[in-house]
Amino acid sequence: MYRTYFRPMTARSRKPRQQPADAVVSAETVWGAAAHADRVNGGEYRKEPEYRVREDGTITDEVVRQPNKVHMWAAIRDNSLITDADRDTGRAALDYVRKNLIIKGLKGSMSDFDRSLTSVVDITEFQTGADRYEIALVTSQIRAFREGTRIEAVMDDVNRAPLADVGAKVSGHARVIRVVYSTNYNVYFVTAKTDTNHMVFFSYRERLAVDSEIDFRGTVKAHRPDATQLNRVRLA
């Protein structure tokens, strides 16, 4: 099991003194490097290496994909790896994350991670030694930007009325919008958008591909703020 620990935040005015081995890099380079890593890994955020698997299912020592942080640091050290499109993506991601944090702050819904990220989006220059933690926080934010903007586009024309009364049996056709695996329950939590623009939410034992089309049957369990929750779901 992995556990995430958050380092206590420190004021930027009390930033550690730059070490001789540190290099100073711009925020544009750091966010562009994160976009480069996202592009190299095909839009998938990887924390750990991916190893080649033999046909018999055994895992080899051959790395087929490196974690995003490896590609990101390579691009920080060699800026030529960062394309103009990467820099555009990095700037857009920074702007999106900053605005999203402001909204969360106004709503009072910030997590410890969000609070740490708040100081990062205001940094204009990073030190490669003293700011390694802050640089690491940027790594996953390209995926957060892409996923967030995709969901916002999906939600533009959503019918927010409940799909049906609690207890009612329902069926329909939908497109899978989001799939999240739960280690606690060993199931996938699926959010899908129906042909009538309603959002439905349910658990399923198998992973469904995002953007795949499904025919579903189930029973309305509850009305959530963002979707109608179903249980006993069966897919055709």
pLDDT computed for residue 19 by the predictor? 53
Q: CA torsion 132→134→135→136, rounded to 10°? A: 90
pLDDT computed for residue 2 by the predictor? 35
pLDDT computed for residue 127 by the predictor? 96
pLDDT computed for residue 8 by the predictor? 41
Question: Under a CB-based contact definition with an 8 Å cutoff, are residues 230 and 198 in contact?
Answer: no
pLDDT computed for residue 34 by the predictor? 98
pLDDT computed for residue 33 by the predictor? 98
pLDDT computed for residue 21 by the predictor? 66
pLDDT computed for residue 186 by the predictor? 85
Structural domains present in the chain: 22-154 (no CATH), 169-235 (2.40.50.140)
Q: Which helix (H) or strand (E) holds 41?
A: none
**Max intra-chain CA distance, the chain:** 67
pLDDT computed for residue 147 by the predictor? 87
Per-residue pLDDT 10s for the chain (236 aa) are 333 333 344 444 445 555 556 899 999 999 999 999 999 998 888 888 888 888 888 888 998 889 999 999 999 999 999 999 999 999 999 999 999 999 999 999 899 999 999 999 999 999 999 999 999 999 999 999 998 898 888 888 999 999 999 999 999 999 999 988 887 888 899 999 999 999 999 999 998 998 999 999 999 999 998 899 999 999 98
The total number of residues written for the chain in this structure: 236
pLDDT computed for residue 230 by the predictor? 98
Amino acid at 59: I
pLDDT computed for residue 87 by the predictor? 98
CA–CA separation, 86 and 95 (whole Å): 14
**What is the pTM for the complete model shown?**
0.68
CA–CA separation, 71 and 139 (whole Å): 10
CA–CA separation, 177 and 169 (whole Å): 22
